[in-house]
Amino acid sequence: MRIDMTGEAGDPGRPNEDYASAALPSAGEGGALVVLDGVTPPQDGTGCTHGVPWFTARLGGALLELATSRRELTLRRCLSEAISRTAAEHSSTCDLSHRRTPQATVVTARWDERSVEYLVLSDSVLVMEHPHGSVTPVLDSRLHQLPPHIGSLRRRVRELPEDSAERGAARAEYANAVEALRNAPGGEGFYTAAADPAVASLAVTGSAPRAEVRALLALTDGAARWSEVFRLGDWTALLGLVREEGSEALVARVREAERADPHGAAHPRGKTHDDASVVFAELGTGAQATRPTTRRPVRSPRPTGS
Ligand SMILES: [Zn+2]
């Protein structure tokens, strides 16, 4: 088992609002990972005095602890409990009904010797690699299936001259329209983990036999943009890059691509640089599949003298 993680703020002058963690509990062949992307609030208030990093650290910490210590609970149930626990920590001081209350996208996965379970909510990504190298991305595509008026607003932003007042106003209108669909009742929007535990029931979840999963790769959209925005390769190529050169190299390549297109002319995107987090867990082929034949033990050298 090998885990490689990287987290990097998009802007070195601002706190990283992503959260990444992994655990290899001592029992069995198991483990878990959690990656969150905190939603950056606009300047005009969230009803919370703590801020997004405070929120993601608590939500992510609670989710990892529940996923590893309460294996009898489904990941949806773990997420729902983690949301409730985090909300309870500031319900007496903050207005959790505020529509901009701190919130985050979620990817979590948990494995043992028999299976791999996963959960994805909003636009962070989980890529599962199978033993012969094919991959399966697990995506919550609701953010990419918004009603048509959102697409028209986005096109209008791109058609207006850069740095113009009109473009600024159109961008604000687009952002407000998207925000109105976040965690909105009615089912035509998209969902993030905020203060309402019921959202856990809307997450994309599933499981696979452990023998069919060789590696797991969790990414916030700031790292996934290597594929999704810059089109530098598909998910298979992205996973290959992380395995061969490390998670840090993926983020470095994203930064290079961002610097080459600072205004988003060739590759339109919300932020020039975004927080980027990567967790790569190489599970091997599973305990049952690979009981290797006994090899010669490696011994420590004998101590000399006394
Ligand atoms: Zn708060």
For residue 38, what are the β-bridge partners? Answer: 104
Residues with CB under 5 A from ligand 1 (ion): 48, 50, 90, 94
How far does residue 230's CA lie from ligand 1's centre (Å)? Answer: 35
How far does residue 94's CA lie from ligand 1's centre (Å)? Answer: 5
| pLDDT for residue 161 | 85
The helix (H) or strand (E) run that includes residue 278 is strand 276-282
Q: How confident is the model at residue 288 (pLDDT cuts 50, 70, 90)?
A: very low
Q: How confident is the model at residue 292 (pLDDT cuts 50, 70, 90)?
A: very low
Of 113-117, 183-187, 214-218, 247-251, least confident by mean pLDDT is: 183-187
- Please determine, for residue 298, whether its predicted confidence score (pLDDT) is greater than 60: no
C-alpha to C-alpha distance for 52 and 302, rounded to whole angstroms: 53
Burial group, residue 17, by CB count within 10 angstroms (0-12, 13-18, 19+): buried
The sign of the torsion formed by the CA atoms of 103, 107, 113, 115 equals: positive
How far does residue 95's CA lie from ligand 1's centre (Å)? Answer: 8
pTM comes to 0.88
How far does residue 48's CA lie from ligand 1's centre (Å)? Answer: 4
C-alpha to C-alpha distance for 145 and 142, rounded to whole angstroms: 5
The percent of residues in the chain predicted with pLDDT above 90, rounded, is 69
How far does residue 49's CA lie from ligand 1's centre (Å)? Answer: 5
How far does residue 184's CA lie from ligand 1's centre (Å)? Answer: 21
The bridge status of strand 204-209 relative to strand 215-219 is unpaired
Tens digits of per-residue pLDDT, 233-281? 999 999 999 999 999 999 999 999 999 999 888 998 888 999 999 999 9
Are 64 and 78 in contact, with CB atoms under 8 Å apart? Answer: no
How far does residue 87's CA lie from ligand 1's centre (Å)? Answer: 8
How far does residue 269's CA lie from ligand 1's centre (Å)? Answer: 29
Tens digits of per-residue pLDDT, 92-135? 999 999 988 999 999 999 999 999 999 999 999 999 999 999 99
Rounded to the nearest angstrom, the gap between the alpha carbon of residue 59 and the centroid of all alpha carbons in its chain is 13
